A and B are shown apart, each in its own frame.
Chain A
Amino acid sequence: MAIVTSAGPRAETAALSRAPDRSRWAAGARTLFGNPVTIVAAVFLLLVVLAAVFAPVIARHDPTFLDPGVRLQGPSAEFPMGTDDRGRDIFSRVIYGGRVSLAIGVGVTLAAAAIGSVLGLLSGYFPRLDTPIMRTLDGLMAFPSILLAIAIMASLGPSATNVFLALTVVYTPTVARLVRSTTLVTRQQPFVESARSIGMTDAGILLRYVYPNGLSPLIVQCTFVVAFAIISEASLSFLGAGVDPETPTWGNMLRDGQRVLQVAWWLALFPGIALVLTVLTLNVLGDALRDALDPRGRGR
């Protein structure tokens, strides 16, 4: 019996798919790094991550230190991105702001991917759970995403933790929908049926066969969720419904910057550019990943 199990569906599918699988990954890697734009984007993103991690080393000034003597100074050698209306160094604040953006972007994505995967697998695999789960998520998706986030922030109050919670609620349904749709397809596959016929548990089938099969679209989706979450966090902070206003974040800086836009352009421009470039590189990488992981879309 043990022999039958070990030579069961797993060995069979492995034998069938090993060769094409490896060449698929190789072709994927070639597509991913064959494009100079992708490499530039990856390098830039790496720099943003490094800057965030090593912020205390890179920033030459305390991002929250008020120095009334140097209010609203334009970019200079001492302050490469100028100072704000309370004499704080914009460059240091942009670097520290990246920490908040990345932490929230990645944190929200991991949480939404985890919860969304569970909901999507349950909903796609067990027909009885499909309707209650999906109807609830449809209801959540009836709100424009930023509006739902604003609504949740309005009741929870401004803080980074609450932004994380609100955006997790906002982005979980998209992940769940995607996982559900791939689960629905995989569930019909012969190897799932054969796994069931040899008495594998549902949990085992889901984790070993169904979930891994839907992983590559999920990875692509997650890249975009990081980008969306970063934009949403900045929007919430900009509106005054995000991270605590005293914390340096790109959204908070844009909010401060717009107040003095008539006299000092650098307050809003630099955090904005940091935000756009980060989101842009994430989008470029997401596109490249999609091309690399989905052979049908290649060459489009």
Chain B
Amino acid sequence: MTAYILRRLVLLVPVMIVVGVVVFALVHLTPGDPAAVILGDRATAEDIQRLREQLGLNDPLPVQFARWFGDMLRLDFGESIFLGEPVTRALLDRVQPTALLTLYALLIQIAIGVPAGVLAAVRHNSPLDRVFTVMAISGSAIPTFFLGIVLILIFAVRLRWLPSGGYAPPGEGLGAHLQSMVLPAFALGFSAAGLLARMVRSSMLDVLREDYVRTAWAKGLPERLIIVRHALRNALIPALTIIGISVGALLGGAVVTETVFTIPGMGRLVVQSIARRDYPVIQGAIVAIALTYVLVNLVVDVLYVYIDPRVRLGGE
């Protein structure tokens, strides 16, 4: 187990190097002088020179990269050009909405995806199964931001039940907080639920054919017990991988969802920073989100090995 974790940690090194190179390259991919691009047309030559100095653009490229990579490992992304504060500070101020939105969306994904998948598998080839399959396919066809817009149209514009956007931190009242998060979390979680439901369904179908499930039927155990205690517990193991992968999709989707619902999180900051050409912020946020995604998947994979002894014994 320890060896496995160590091996996985070693594999993180090349991944982080590639992440570093890609995010470093972002500034240098800009057509022309990045400093001139950031400052726009009205900048004087002096301003541009000062910014080049601040961004360290005058040094040779390898030196710039070494410095950037070292800073990245210490999670130091320099000063935001627009906000006038350290990028790390700006990101920390906006972590909460993004983290909570992703978490709620994940919970909604599981709350919809697992029961739907189980029901579809247990009633295999029934009308219910077909309805769920159609819903799962259409769910993944609806982009988060369009589902968000439709939800705003129905629940905010027509019915006026929920706010059309904005964010209330949980510290200022749980009711208002949940109200502000219902629509975005549902918009984000629903399409991800389709993928999970399909995965749970197919792994349930596999498990239900296993000998020990037949034995459980033969013993005369009640259906509920067989499905929940014997089948589902094993069927959820492959579903765990999907949940790990989903976190990436949810974090990415949060960027878009925050813009739809004007939630002041990291994603909205990234989008706003594009127009402001605030590259240090874009770089910092992207590294932070990629790092979170990589670490979540590491944890999921380790859990997977921990839960399923076959993986451990069989090697990789």
* A contacts, CB < 8 Å to B: 135-136, 138-140, 142-148, 150-157, 227, 231, 234-235, 238-241, 254, 257-258, 261-262, 265, 268-269, 272, 275-276, 279-280, 283-284, 287, 300
In the complex, what residue of chain B is closest to A268 when comparing beta carbons?
A: B149
Q: For A152, list chain B residues within 8 Å (CB).
A: 26, 29
Whether B143 is near chain A, meaning CB under 8 Å from some CB there, is yes
Establish whether residues A240 and B143, one from each chain, have CB atoms under 8 Å apart when the complex forms. no
The answer to whether A147 touches B26 (Cβ under 8 A) is: no
19 contacts between A and B (CB under 8 A): A135-B14, A135-B18, A138-B18, A139-B16, A142-B15, A142-B19, A145-B248, A150-B255, A150-B274, A153-B274, A154-B26, A155-B26, A238-B145, A258-B149, A258-B260, A261-B153, A265-B153, A268-B153, A269-B153
Taking a contact as CB atoms under 8 Å apart, the answer to whether B251 and A144 are in contact is yes
Q: Is the CB of A143 within 8 A of B19?
A: yes
Question: A2 CA to B281 CA in the complex, in Å?
Answer: 65
Across the interface, do A276 and B290 meet the contact criterion of CB distance under 8 Å? Answer: no
Asked whether A157 lies within 8 Å of B293 as measured between CB atoms, the reply is no
| Contact A157–B31 (Cβ < 8 Å) | yes
Q: Known: A143-B293, A275-B143, A280-B141. Contact between A240 and B22, CB under 8 A? A: no
- B157→A262 contact, CB < 8 A: yes
Cα–Cα, bound, A32→B30 (Å) = 46
* Interface contacts beyond A151-B22, A155-B30, A239-B259: sample of 10 additional A-B pairs, CB < 8 Å, sorted by A: A142-B294, A147-B251, A147-B286, A150-B270, A156-B30, A235-B256, A258-B260, A275-B143, A283-B141, A300-B202
Confirm or deny: B152 has a beta carbon within 8 angstroms of a beta carbon on chain A: yes
Select from chain B the residue with minimum beta-carbon distance to A145.
B252
Tell whether, in the assembled complex, residue B260 and residue A144 are in contact, meaning their CB atoms are under 8 Å apart.
Answer: no
Cross-chain contact B18 with A142 (CB below 8 angstroms): yes
C-alpha gap A148/B29 in the complex (Å): 14
Cα A231 to Cα B252 in complex, Å, equals 13
Contact (Cβ within 8 A) A140 B23? no
Most chain B C-beta atoms within 10 Å of own C-beta, residue among A154, A280, A284? A154
Contact B205 A239 (CB under 8 A): no
Residues of B within 8 A of A146 (CB): 252-253, 255-256
Contact at A139–B29, with CB atoms within 8 Å?
no
Q: Tell me how far the C-beta of A160 lies from the nearest C-beta in chain B, rounded to whole angstroms.
A: 16
Residues in chain B near residue A150, CB distance under 8 A? 255, 270-271, 274
**Distance from A282 Cβ to chain B, minimum over Cβ atoms (Å):** 8
A151 B14 Cβ-Cβ under 8 A: no
Interface residues of B in 88-103 (CB under 8 A from A): none
- Closest chain-B Cβ to A189's Cβ sits at a distance in Å of 23
